[in-house]
Structure 1
Amino acid sequence: MSDTWKEFAGGTVGGWAQVFVGHPFDTIKVRIQTNNQYRNALDALSDTVKNEGPKALYKGVWSPILGIGLVNAVIFSFYDSFRHLINPDFPNTPLTPTQTFQAGLATGAVTAFVNAPVEHLKIRLQTQYGSRNSAAAAAGSSLKGETTPHTLGSLTAYLVRTRGFTSLFRGLWVTIVRDTPSFAFYFWSYEMVKKALEDRAAKTNGAPRELNVIELILAGGTAGICCWLPCIPQDVVKSRFQSNDTYRSSLEAMRDVYARKGIRGFFKGVGPTLVRAFPANAATFLAYEMTMRRIAPGRHGRSEWN
């Protein structure tokens, strides 16, 4: 198996772990961002479980299960490619923190093309209220009065049939604006924490070693929080634009958010976003590292910095 395919496999397993751990938090985040009636995360959670049952927290889960595995595979594969492009002698020569940041920037810009349609479909399904809600909740007010496309397959087929294949990429540009800084901080902060933990272990043991499970969880969870800090406003705009077809552009969605709530409106859902970020990304990196240790022993579990 080539290095690229190993990264692809590790990223896929990490993506699946992220979905199973983080999807309920993500559903609440999306509903807060797209529904002005909810006061906070507890209000959204209570209303969702009361009226639709606990299963509603996993609405739209098949899009990320099928898509996030692919997205994460693409993320880690491209990240590995950009590391080698920036530093042709990697991994023999360690990266610098700046090179890691640059590789993350490039990774975010490229993978947004995969991330945008996956999240678009997920958000359409997450913002359906009830088991057979009006189609306006599934695909925007312009579908009102039609049969609800309430599954991943039926929604995908409907959008492609009525609006063309490119409609799946609604919100692409705001996704790029969100993901480019997000993934730069994602990988940079992950390596920063790994390096700090390695240095601490070296002082204690006198020699470097692979990080243990608890240390990988700490590094991955911290990276998850850091990756969201520079992009929550972009995510709010993206969620509203992708869930509501009355917006003609992401700029119009941004203006509407500001008109309704001011600057505070761009931080709707920040609570569940950050609460989700730690366990979901701890699971992502842990699953990725454990998979890579099995299929590429000796290459993982250590920081890529000096």
Structure 2
Amino acid sequence: MEIRRELAAASTMNCFHLEDFIAGWIGGASSVIVGHPLDTVKTRLQAGKGYQNTLHCVLTIYRKETVSGFFKGLSFPLASITVYNSVVFGLFSNTQRLISKIRHGDSRHPCGMLDLLLASMLTGLVSVSLGAPVDLVKIRLQMQTRPVLAENLNLAGNTSSNIPLKSVEISGQHGYRGPLHCISSILQSEGLQGLYRGAGAMVLRDVPGYTLYFLPYTLFCDLLNPDGKSSPRFSSIWLAGGLAGSISWVTATPADVVKSRMQADSLHPRKYRGILHCIVHSYKTEGLQVFFRGATVNAIRGFPMSATMFLGYELSLKFFRSL
């Protein structure tokens, strides 16, 4: 009996590969650097005000904040989203092997579409526990500068003031000095649950989002490598990863809008009482099109980010397995 237990434990350990997590970390770091500028634009479009369209948002950020405005909050994602992607890719790959071991008795058995679907959904669900605080802090830092109506500051319309009736920029009302100060401020004012604001909307985004991320990638890789005898070429990985990223981000945009709005809402009392209230309020005040705000940016940024992510992951994995 004891020998059987040891064999079962060894078999389970064979399903766990540490290199998947390391490769995911490397791919994640590459994708963050490539995609952060457009991620800032996406966040401003979804949770900010005063932007007419994507191009107007880009030009406004550049004119008022220069190039550095696009990289606001980069240090935190670079340190944290790399770990997040490490967990996502490591979890997805190891979950596939575990499912293959349970269903087919061999962790090396190729996964079918149903296995990939289950692994993707589980990855999306578990990733929220780490991803929700990361996204919250990133968005709060990205929204540090907000357009505020001058008349709300009792400046416009005053005969003694020379300030015109237009939007002016002031620094974020919280004045976060950095990621650690942001986390500390949220914990002091909102408690631990404050770091998970918008987590429910993130589940609605990431469970189907990762399904439409990993499945298309696998399908496109198979289409671009029809013989299946050799590993996909790097160009195939890059193209498959980019297309999968665009598909995933575009379809996830409505839930992403709700998540971004709830996480950017740092007012007291809250503007949004919950997911349903955020959806209803956004629809009533801005119409159905509000849920597709940032979809163009998501489609554009999703391609290079995911192409870089998958290529960095696959190249790193190939290197580690050759050692």
**Residues 85-234 of structure 1 aligned to structure 2 (within 5 Å):** 85-88=98-101, 89=105, 91-129=107-145, 133-136=170-173, 138=174, 148-199=175-226, 202=227, 208-234=229-255
Task: Determine which structure has more spread, i.e. the larger CA radius of gyration.
Answer: 2
Aligned equivalents of 1:30, 1:294: Cα separation in 2: 35
Alpha-carbon contact 2:143-2:172 (below 8 Å) kept: no
Deviations 1:214-264 (A, max 9, x none): 111101101101212331100000001100132222222212210122211
Q: 1:63 maps to which residue?
A: 76
Q: 1:290 maps to which residue?
A: 315
Residue 84 in structure 1 maps to residue 97 in structure 2: yes
* TM-score, scaled relative to structure 1: 0.87
- Secondary structure of the residue aligned to 1:229 is helix
Residue 251 in structure 1 maps to residue 290 in structure 2: no
CA displacement at 1:91 relative to structure 2: 4.5
Q: 2:163 maps to which residue?
A: none
Alpha-carbon contact 2:43-2:139 (below 8 Å) kept: yes
| Number of residue pairs matched by the alignment | 281
Q: 2:292 maps to which residue?
A: 267
CA displacement at 1:160 relative to structure 2: 1.5
Q: Which runs of 5+ in 2 are unaligned?
A: 1-12, 147-168
Is 65-74 or 156-165 further displaced after alignment?
156-165
Aligned-residue sequence identity (percent) comes to 30
**How large is the Cα RMSD of the aligned pairs?**
1.9
Aligned equivalents of 1:37, 1:134: Cα separation in 2: 16
CA displacement at 1:56 relative to structure 2: 0.8
Q: Which runs of 5+ in 1 are unaligned?
A: 139-147, 299-306
Alpha-carbon contact 2:253-2:292 (below 8 Å) kept: yes
* TM-score, scaled relative to structure 2: 0.82
Alpha-carbon contact 2:46-2:293 (below 8 Å) kept: yes
Deviations 1:53-93 (A, max 9, x none): 10110111122111111111110121123212322145531
Which amino acid in the other structure matches residue 312 of structure 2? A
- Secondary structure of the residue aligned to 1:95 is coil
Alpha-carbon contact 1:217-1:285 (below 8 Å) kept: yes
Residue 240 in structure 1 maps to residue 255 in structure 2: no
CA displacement at 1:133 relative to structure 2: 4.2
